[in-house]
Amino acid sequence: MGAAIVARNIARMVETYARDKPPEWRPLIYCWRGGQRSRALVRVLAEIGWRAWQLDGGYRAYRRHVVATLTTLPQRFDYRVVCGLTGAGKSRLIAALAEEGAQTLDLEMLARHRGSLLGDLPGDPQPSQKSFESQLAAALAALDPARLVFVECESRKIGNLQLPDALLTTMRASSCVRLDTPASLRVAMLKTEYAHFIDGPTGFVERLTHLTPVYGKKTIERWREAATRRDADALVAELLERHYDPMYTRSLAQNFPRAATALVVHANDASEANFRALARDVIDRTRAHAPATV
């Protein structure tokens, strides 16, 4: 019975998924424990002419490998944690650092989330926890332990995804780079990054209701009215002042003690050229502190 089921599945895969693949296609085949099912498919694909590979031990062994990697590998790197108030441009600086040749770990890109109550990306759902961990393990494995790794300051969770304890613990003990940005510029950049909420305030209002237990119905209603009439400047400024800035400041002091002695850079405008210049400045000022040995 098992052989018949496997044979039907192999026929379906060959007739659908594999039929248009080029001769140089080299698929990696796995099942739960890397046994007979995946071996049978590898053999059939090899007879057709494709160089198929079987994942030794199957997906179960791969998951053990990912979990083990995320327990030990994060501790091999010397991180510089980019911190700064909400809207300061931390993600922009991480991207600029990568463009300038620095080594970066972009956790929010891997998580498909900006890391706040309003941080989900429209039309781009977050991966599963297991998929996120697989991508994170691969990203860490591609880094060079002899070079600094710039990473954005994050809480334990990015949206619905949780960071591995080993990575979070190491980041929290690391030196920091603080990005200081004027409030007016932070508001302007946030309006650009969250334009989908400003243009379609229904989702914005829905998210704000989650803050009702903290600020009360009257405040939330006032914010709802501001969002509805698209008074974004005043609303974003007040949200930063009353909610995001105090919360971020407390969290940073509690979880990243070395932020108090951080290297400080200032953003004066939102242009790519300005952030590239900031990135070069950060690289120059941190280069002398890179680890000499692995």
Active site residues per annotation? 31
Q: Name the β-bridge partners of 158.
A: 161
Alpha-carbon Rg for the chain in angstroms: 24
Report the half-sphere exposure of 148 (CA within 13 A, side-chain side): 24
175, two tokens: 């030196």
How many CB atoms lie under 10 A from the CB of residue 72? 9
Q: What is the DSSP string of the chain?
A: -HHHHHHHHHHHHHHTTSTT--TT---EE--SSS-HHHHHHHHHHHHHT---EE-TTHHHHHHHHHHHHHHHGGGGS-EEEEE-STTS-HHHHHHHHHHTT--EE-HHHHHTB-SSTT-BBTTBPPPPHHHHHHHHHHHHHTS-TTS-EEEE---SEETTEE--HHHHHHHHTSEEEEEE--HHHHHHHHHHHTHHHHHSHHHHHHHHGGGHHHHHHHHHHHHHHHHHTT-HHHHHHHHIIIIIHHHHHHHHHHH-GGGGG-EEEE-----HHHHHHHHHHHHHHHGGGS-S--
From the list 157, 169, 171, the residue with the least C-alpha distance to 108 is: 157
